[in-house]
Amino acid sequence: MAKNIEVPLNRLVIGFGLIFFLGILFAILNGYYVEESGESLPLIVYAIALTSLLVGAVVILLFQWKINKLQMEKILFLLPKDEAEILACLLEHNNKLEQNHLVAYTGYNKVRISRILTKYEQKGIIEKRNMGNTNLILLKLR
């Protein structure tokens, strides 16, 4: 199951700024190399740098996802069983699920699910979107 990976805007700006700075450093290095040898840097140098950046980004995102998952699992242990099951169910289904499916997956009755979801909605943990006979429940935790 694919997970949405959202990166905060400030981290994106910092990341793109650092990549831009790296590009400037490569341009300066290329200038010195041209001055010394009379030819530009081999293309393989740029390919290695780009590959290193991509591998580094993937590794960082994977570790961040794993850390977030471990933190969420610790939080779920602090909650009452029924509330933890609802959040775990939402997490397993990519942070969104129809309310009637929550009833089916957890085995709790509609009233119990509705009360818990109303409490979570008031606290800003979830968002309910009307879909006719049911609601789409969106987990808003980051």
Residues 51-72: tens digit of each pLDDT: 888 888 888 777 776 766 777 7
- Closest residue by Cα to residue 99 from 136, 132, 138: 136
* C-alpha–C-alpha distance, residues 65 and 4, integer Å: 10
**pLDDT of the residue at 1:** 40
**Average pLDDT, integer, range 88-106:** 91
**Average pLDDT, integer, range 112-129:** 93
* C-alpha–C-alpha distance, residues 83 and 81, integer Å: 6
* pLDDT bucket at 101, cuts 50 / 70 / 90: very high
* Mean pLDDT of all residues belonging to the chain: 84
